[in-house]
């Protein structure tokens, strides 16, 4: 079966393309390279010894989508393409709503026309309401998002579940990722953020490699075991394998289903700093600063539904995540850009 992967040149997309190729799926990628480098796809092909098909372009381009569906027999779509920086979304709400919502509307319009109605969507733990008790279950409250990025994920879930409700031929799988970090163990593909990283792990690796002076730990007065924020970090290779499981589930189960993709375990910022130092034997200077506005103290998943229905469970631990993130960064100090 051929899988169309939108945003396949990006961080999670490239790791998923690799896992799909390893399992003998045909892979077709559409990506406008707005936040990625096509070298990621070259390396996926090198690592697997298999070819994929790449279309450079925008998911909002109706003619290009028609061409892709005409030229390839697609059995399932994984829709990663989207803008993802929380802070930037506050400054550029129109761009986020345009990109993230219109891409989904155009994609599903063309899918409907060609009669290919299996789609997996990259949602996020950010759709959960901040006041929920932990762990978060798929039935926990959603909404009350604090930024346009989060609203695009929330709204896209509404759009896709509404489509599946109206037409029973659709099969929609909404995957809510927790905090993806790590890289393929080869160190050949990984996360390559543009500009100053917003997220914890890429910031840590850039400090360790000497591109940034020190890490700012955003607050140490939360109600957690050491006062710093706790999150459910998940290895990107585990996450990618979750998508392969989701493809198999989606093509066999019409309707709309939502799954958490997390480990079920929370670690603090300082847990991460200490593990990173120990596993990699590198210096990692940090200072404690004020809390970052909008952050919550603790967030972690209940991954039981994914285990039960997808037959998927995260296998890698925090040491694996720290080792593989560093292996990628030290072998590619400037990311794909060198
Ligand atoms: P990424 O930026 O590395 O990958 C997204 C890819 O989509 C990029 O290659 C970009 O060039 C492409 N793209 C963006 N808009 C496009 C468009 N209109 N047409 C074609 N290509 C387009 O991000 P990622 O971390 O791999 O995230 C993938 C998806 O998972 C995103 O939808 C993101 O919101 C979601 N997600 C990410 C995280 C995370 O922490 N990384 C967490 C939860 C959800
Ligand atoms: C993790 C922890 C910070 C940076 C974000 C999005 C979410 C999802 C994943 C897409 C927090 C602390 C961070 C730093 C720090 N993305 N931190 N110093 O905020 O849990 O989630 O990415 O859907 O929507 O909001 O991830 O990596 O930014 O932060 O102390 O320089 O690290 O306060 O406790 P977050 P993160």
- Among all residues, which ones are annotated catalytic? 149
Q: Determine whether the shortest distance from the Cβ of 31 to ligand 1 is under 6 A.
A: yes
Kindly report which listed range (57-61, 194-198, 257-261) carries the lowest average pLDDT score.
194-198
- Model pLDDT, residue 38: 98
Residues with CB under 6 A from ligand 2: 84, 86, 124, 126, 179, 198-200, 203, 215-218, 229, 231, 269, 292, 295
**Distance, CA of 61 to CA of 57 (rounded, Å):** 7
Structure tokens at 52: 């994929």
Task: Give the ligand at the shortest distance from the Cα of 295.
Answer: 2
Per-residue pLDDT of 319-337, as tens digits, reads 999 999 999 999 999 999 8
What per-residue confidence (pLDDT) applies to 322? 98
Instruction: Enumerate residues 6+ apart whose C-beta is below 8 A from 330.
Output: 187, 208, 209
Band of residue 36 on the pLDDT scale cut at 50, 70, 90: very high
The bridge status of strand 230-231 relative to strand 267-268 is antiparallel
Question: Long-range contacts made by residues 159-165, C-beta under 8 angstroms, separation at least 24?
Answer: 159/101, 159/104, 159/105, 159/108, 160/104, 160/108, 160/119, 160/121, 160/256, 161/256, 163/108, 163/112, 164/254, 164/255, 164/256, 165/256
* Rounded Cα–Cα distance for residues 182 and 108 (Å): 31
Classified as helix, coil or strand, 193 is coil
Give the phi and the psi of residue 111 in degrees, each rounded to 5: -60, -40
Q: How far is CA 212 from CA 203, 208, 289, in A?
A: 8, 8, 16
Question: What pLDDT was estimated at residue 89?
Answer: 97
Q: What ligand is nearest to the CA atom of residue 284?
A: 2
Closest ligand 1 atom to Cα of 34: 11
- Mapped onto helix, strand or coil, the DSSP state of residue 22 is helix
- Ligand that comes closest to the CA of residue 80: 1
Q: How far apart are CA 16 and CA 239, in angstroms?
A: 8
CA of 84 to the centre of ligand 2 (A): 12
DSSP string, 88-149: HHHH-HHHHHHHHHHHHHHHHHHHHHHT--EEEEEEEGGGB-TTPPSSB-TTS-B---SSHH
pLDDT digits (tens, 9 = 90+) for 208-224: 999 999 999 999 999 99
Ligand 2 atom showing the smallest separation from residue 291 Cα: 33
Helices vs strands, H then E, count in the chain: 11, 14
Average pLDDT over residues 268-279: 98
Grade residue 338 by pLDDT with cuts at 50, 70 and 90. Answer: low
Per-residue tokens: 108:
């599903």
Cis peptide before 135 (omega within 30 of 0): yes
Q: Do 293 and 229 touch, CB atoms closer than 8 A?
A: no
Q: Strand 298-299's sheet: what is its strand order?
A: 267-268, 230-231, 298-299
pLDDT above 90 as % of the chain? 99
What atom in ligand 1 is closest to the CA of residue 35? 11
Query: How much is the pTM?
Result: 0.99
Cβ within 8 Å of residue 109, ≥6 positions away: 62
């Amino acid at each position: 079966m051929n899988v169309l992967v939108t945003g396949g040149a990006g961080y999670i997309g490239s790791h998923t393309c690799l896992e799909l190729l390893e399992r003998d799926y045909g892979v077709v990628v559409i990506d406008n390279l707005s936040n990625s480098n096509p070298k990621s796809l070259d390396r996926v092909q090198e690592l697997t010894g298999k070819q994929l098909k790449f279309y450079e372009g925008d998911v909002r381009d109706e003619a290009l989508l028609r061409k892709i569906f005409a030229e390839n027999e697609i059995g399932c779509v994984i829709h990663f393409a989207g803008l993802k920086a929380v802070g930037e979304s506050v400054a550029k709400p129109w761009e986020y709503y345009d990109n993230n919502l219109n891409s989904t509307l155009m994609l599903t319009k063309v899918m409907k026309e060609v009669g290919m109605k299996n789609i997996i969507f990259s949602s996020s733990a950010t759709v959960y309401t901040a006041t929920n008790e932990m762990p978060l279950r798929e039935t926990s409250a959603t909404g009350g998002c604090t930024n346009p990025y989060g609203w695009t994920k929330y709204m896209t879930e509404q759009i896709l579940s509404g489509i599946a409700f109206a037409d029973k031929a659709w099969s929609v799988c909404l995957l809510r990722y927790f905090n993806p970090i790590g890289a393929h163990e080869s160190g050949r593909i990984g996360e390559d953020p543009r500009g100053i990283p917003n997220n914890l792990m890429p910031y840590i690796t850039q400090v360790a490699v000497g591109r940034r002076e020190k890490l700012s730990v955003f607050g140490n007065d939360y109600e957690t075991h050491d006062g710093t924020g706790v999150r459910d970090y998940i290895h990107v290779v585990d996450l990618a394998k979750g998508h392969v499981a989701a493809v198999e589930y989606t093509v066999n189960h019409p309707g709309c289903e939502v799954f958490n993709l997390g480990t079920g375990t929370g670690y603090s910022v300082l847990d991460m700093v200490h593990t990173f130092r120990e596993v990699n034997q590198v210096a990692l200077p940090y200072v404690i600063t004020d809390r970052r506005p909008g952050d919550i103290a603790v967030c972690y998943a209940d991954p039981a539904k994914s285990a039960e229905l997808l037959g998927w469970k995260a296998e890698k631990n925090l040491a694996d995540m720290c080792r593989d993130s560093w292996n990628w960064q030290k072998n590619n100090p400037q990311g794909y850009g060198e």
